[in-house]
């Protein structure tokens, strides 16, 4: 192994610190995959707490209060950075010194991880893989710090300053023989080395290549950062998934009766009355699904209220819970589109919470905000009119799926999702439409979004065998309810479809009609009428600004 003492100490220290960063980043990533608690820094911190004498612990708690953990972990990181710098400085002499130092840390990490309660063998992986990759990084960085031997013609020279050299031939006398790097002036087009070198008698001469080292360090920083972020994201997901699984859903104050028989015709290809959580459409602006831990979640209710309040997840679960069957629909759903689904929700009535806060009479809008900053503007009168507008915690009997807003989301029957159904909701400001604007309003969508009566044909598909066939689908007019669904084939007479049962006005409703298909091509159209007597208009409009209109129409080929 060659010496490379000509690499200056500061460069070694930086290489050591970046090596440590890569090792910790990779450890974080592997911990995110294996077990977040097996991240060695945490394990070492825990071990320090366990091993430190009681008076020291008391001192730490007295001095740093609630921040004692932050100070501890920060201290561990500071010590690690120092040690990593020393490792890097030593690695300049002999790479083995540096590798031995890393091995020492691996040992410490493995010991700390394995002495944790309920430790598993796989828990050593973050430490071992992290230090392993760190070792590779150290060797690589040290390799980049020095380029190979300078040309033989320059060998005799004790030092070479590249900025003075026109070529590899020596052009300047020694400058005290120190390893101080000298920046090359201007763009250089010379044969290597273009960096100052120091040579020692009897040793291979090296050139300290500052630029290559620095680009290497930058690469290391990127790897360390990316693996850390990814590892923490994975760990956060695991923590939230675990917390979600751990939620014990309380029973509703008044359990909803089981669904009436006859809500579902159970036809193959017809949307089932209850949409399974896994099949439920998802619409949101989140690139990365927000991971909200229920243990730290709170809902702040403020604005035009007499008593601002802040509710924790536990508080919410202790309140009387309402169960409700509600069909959610997206304003961006084209006629016949898939962005609609029905579930049984469990949650706290928004009106109860708002009454507790005391809503002022000049308010007319609720501006809700999600943990990722999305906002929704909901008409206050709609939420207060007695319908089942909920801060929902559960969907179809399980804690809200993370994609659908865990731990808490809003659900308001009768309003499109973009003005009502805030997922991962953390803040509710009681306000006015003329003071505040929600996310979609300046983007071309209506400030208020009542759901329009709609119907969709699910059956049959585009090809059928001639003869008796079922035409069937779903229709919805949330909170008003449906009175009729009509179907016509080939622009003939409108025929009344059979309607399935519904538990109330807030869900979609299945409909079906038998049809004798004659061979050839046919057009099937559907239109629904709500309980207030409003029939879907034929005119097709686009989804913006306040929801599509028009009759869903399909063509069927019968043979």
Ligand X SMILES: Nc1nc2c(c(=O)[nH]1)N[C@H]1C(S)=C(S)[C@@H](COP(=O)(O)O)O[C@H]1N2
Q: Site residues (CB under 6 A) for ligand X?
A: 280-285, 328, 330, 370, 374, 404, 417-418, 421-424
| Coil/strand/helix, residue 507 | coil
Distance CA 479, CA 15 (A): 65
From 206, 280, 345, 418, residue interacting with Mo ion (rule: CB under 5 A): 418
Compute the CA torsion angle 383, 384, 390, 396 (nearest 10 deg).
-90
Residue 281 beta carbon to Mo ion: minimum distance, rounded to whole angstroms: 9
Q: Which is nearer to ligand X, 211 or 282 (by Cβ)?
A: 282
Number of residues that bind Mo ion (CB under 5 A): 4
Select from Mo ion, ligand X, none the partner in contact with residue 374, using the beta carbon and a kind-dependent cut-off of 5 to 8 Å. ligand X
Question: Which region, judged by CB under 5 A, interacts with Mo ion, from 84-92, 269-277, 280-288, 425-433?
Answer: 280-288
Select from Mo ion, ligand X, none the partner in contact with residue 282, using the beta carbon and a kind-dependent cut-off of 5 to 8 Å. ligand X
Contact 463, 520 (CB under 8 A): no
| Coil/strand/helix, residue 141 | helix
Residue at token pair 């049962």: 501
Q: Does 283 bind Mo ion (CB under 5 A)?
A: yes
From 109, 216, 231, 417, residue interacting with Mo ion (rule: CB under 5 A): 417
Select from Mo ion, ligand X, none the partner in contact with residue 404, using the beta carbon and a kind-dependent cut-off of 5 to 8 Å. ligand X
Residue 82 beta carbon to ligand X: minimum distance, rounded to whole angstroms: 43
Distance CA 480, CA 470 (A): 27
Q: Which residues contact 83 (CB under 8 A, 6 or more apart)?
A: 20, 101, 105
Distance CA 160, CA 148 (A): 14
Distance CA 179, CA 9 (A): 10
Q: Which is nearer to ligand X, 420 or 431 (by Cβ)?
A: 420
Residue 368 beta carbon to Mo ion: minimum distance, rounded to whole angstroms: 14
Q: What is the DSSP letter of 175?
A: S
Distance CA 182, CA 380 (A): 69
Q: Which is nearer to Mo ion, 423 or 527 (by Cβ)?
A: 423
Select from Mo ion, ligand X, none the partner in contact with residue 423, using the beta carbon and a kind-dependent cut-off of 5 to 8 Å. ligand X
Q: Which is nearer to ligand X, 342 or 480 (by Cβ)?
A: 342
Q: Which is nearer to ligand X, 87 or 451 (by Cβ)?
A: 451
Q: Which two tokens stand for residue 56?
A: 């020291």
Question: Which region, judged by CB under 5 A, interacts with Mo ion, from 71-79, 284-292, 327-335, 469-477?
Answer: 327-335
Residue 486 beta carbon to Mo ion: minimum distance, rounded to whole angstroms: 27
Q: Which is nearer to Mo ion, 283 or 384 (by Cβ)?
A: 283
Question: Which region, judged by CB under 5 A, interacts with Mo ion, from 118-126, 166-174, 323-331, 528-536?
Answer: 323-331
- Measured in degrees and rounded to the nearest 5, phi and psi for residue 342 equal -125, 135
CA atoms within 13 A on the CB side of 385: 11
Distance CA 58, CA 165 (A): 63
Distance CA 522, CA 556 (A): 5
Residue 453 beta carbon to ligand X: minimum distance, rounded to whole angstroms: 17
Q: Which is nearer to ligand X, 87 or 289 (by Cβ)?
A: 289
Return the closest-CA partner of residue 75 out of 53, 48, 104: 48
Q: Which is nearer to ligand X, 413 or 417 (by Cβ)?
A: 417
Residues in contact with Mo ion by CB under 5 A are 283, 330, 417-418
């Amino acid at each position: 192994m060659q010496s490379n003492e000509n690499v200056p100490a500061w460069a070694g220290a930086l290489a050591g610190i970046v090596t440590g960063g890569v090792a910790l980043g990779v450890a974080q990533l592997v911990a995110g995959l294996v077990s977040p608690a097996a991240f060695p820094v945490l394990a070492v911190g825990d071990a320090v707490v366990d091993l430190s004498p009681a008076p020291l612990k008391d001192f730490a708690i007295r001095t740093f209060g609630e921040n004692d953990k932050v100070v501890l972990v920060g201290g561990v990181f500071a010590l690690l950075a120092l040690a990593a710098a020393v490792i890097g400085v030593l690695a300049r002499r002999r790479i083995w010194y540096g590798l031995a130092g890393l091995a020492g840390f691996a040992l410490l990490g493995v010991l700390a991880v394995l002495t944790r309660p309920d430790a598993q063998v796989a828990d050593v992986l973050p430490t071992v893989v992290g230090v392993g990759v760190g070792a590779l990084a150290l060797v690589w960085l040290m390799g980049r710090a020095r380029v190979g031997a300078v040309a033989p013609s320059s060998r005799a020279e004790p030092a070479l300053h590249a900025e003075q050299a026109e070529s590899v031939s020596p052009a300047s006398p020694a400058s005290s023989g120190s390893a101080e790097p000298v920046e090359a002036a201007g763009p250089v087009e010379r044969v290597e080395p273009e960096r100052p070198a120091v040579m020692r008698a009897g040793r291979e001469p090296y050139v300290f290549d500052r630029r290559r080292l620095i680009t290497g360090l930058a690469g290391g920083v990127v790897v360390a950062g990316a693996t850390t972020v990814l590892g923490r994201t994975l760990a956060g997901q695991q923590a939230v998934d675990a917390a979600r699984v751990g939620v014990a859903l309380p029973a509703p104050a008044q359990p909803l009766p089981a669904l009436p028989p006859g809500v579902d015709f159970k036809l193959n290809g017809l949307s089932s009355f209850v949409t399974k959580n896994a099949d439920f459409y998802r619409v949101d602006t989140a690139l990365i699904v927000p991971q909200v831990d229920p243990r730290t979640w709170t809902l702040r209710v403020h604005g035009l209220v007499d008593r601002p309040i802040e509710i924790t997840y536990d508080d919410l679960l202790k309140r009387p819970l309402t169960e409700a069957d509600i069909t959610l629909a997206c304003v961006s759903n084209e006629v016949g589109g898939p962005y609609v689904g029905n579930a049984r929700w469990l949650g706290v009535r928004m009106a109860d919470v708002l009454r507790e806060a005391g809503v002022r009479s000049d308010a007319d809008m609720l501006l809700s905000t999600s943990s990722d900053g999305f906002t929704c503007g909901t008409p206050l009168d709609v939420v207060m009119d007695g319908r089942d507008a909920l801060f929902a915690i559960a969907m179809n009997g399980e804690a809200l799926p993370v994609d659908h807003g865990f731990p808490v989301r809003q659900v308001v029957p009768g309003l499109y999702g973009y003005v009502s159904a805030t997922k991962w909701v953390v803040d509710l400001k009681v306000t006015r439409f003329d003071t505040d604007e929600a996310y979609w309003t300046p983007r071309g969508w209506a400030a208020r979004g009542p759901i329009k009566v709609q119907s969709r044909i699910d059956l049959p598909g585009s090809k059928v065998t001639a003869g008796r066939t079922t035409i069937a689908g779903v229709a919805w007019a949330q909170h008003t309810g449906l009175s009729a669904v009509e179907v016509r084939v080939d622009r003939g007479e409108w025929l009344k479809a059979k309607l399935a049962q519904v538990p109330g006005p807030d869900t979609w409703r299945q409909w079906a009609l038998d049809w004798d298909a004659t061979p050839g091509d046919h057009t099937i159209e559907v239109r629904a009428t709500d309980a207030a007597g409003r029939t879907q208009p034929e005119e097709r409009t686009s989804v913006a600004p306040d929801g599509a209109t028009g009759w869903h129409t399909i063509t069927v080929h019968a043979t």
